Amino acid sequence: MNEVFEKARALGQAIVESAEFQNMRAMEDAAMALPEVAEQMTRYLEHKQGVEAELAKEVPDHAALADHSEQMKDAQAKLNAMDAVVRMGEARGVFSAMMNQVNQVLQFMVSGETEEGGCSGCCDGCSGCH
């Protein structure tokens, strides 16, 4: 069992050291270092908490709920329009795709099965895992 945990730690370390992970973290740090991004993120989270608080009430205030929802959507739209946030999202997508490939390889190695359209276990012609 120790060998499995050692290899899992090694895989985790390889993931953390991967270009995909490093780029994602750099894009996250760069985006959050911008005051306008931090401000909109704070605004979004405040209104998200407001929505959650209203929904947790026995009798939610529908006007307050609608206002928090609208403000949350507005903050999200402003975030999504910022170049730094777009780059961060793209980097997260690349990292997520790599993690999906890693998970597919693990699934195949353990079960011999793949998800439809996923990794066949045969690396011929595949450029994803390399």
Mean local confidence (pLDDT), 111-121: 65
Confidence tier at 112 by pLDDT (50, 70, 90): confident
User: What gap in Å lies between CA 57 and CA 60, rounded to an integer?
Assistant: 5
Contact in structure between 22 and 91 (CB atoms under 8 Å)? no
Render pLDDT for 3-44 as a digit per residue (tens, 0 to 9). Answer: 999 999 999 999 999 999 999 999 999 999 999 999 999 999
pLDDT for 119 equals 53
CATH of 2-111, one of 1.20.1500.10, 1.10.3720.10, 2.40.50.100, 2.60.40.10: 1.20.1500.10
User: What gap in Å lies between CA 80 and CA 72, rounded to an integer?
Assistant: 12
Render pLDDT for 44-77 as a digit per residue (tens, 0 to 9). Answer: 999 999 999 999 999 999 999 999 999 999 999 9
Q: Is the entire prediction scored with pTM above 0.85?
A: no
Supply the DSSP symbol for 82: S
Pick the closest to residue 103 from 113, 93, 88 (CA basis). Answer: 113
Specify the amino acid at residue 116: E
pLDDT surpassing 50 at residue 93: yes
pLDDT for 120 equals 53
pLDDT for 130 equals 46
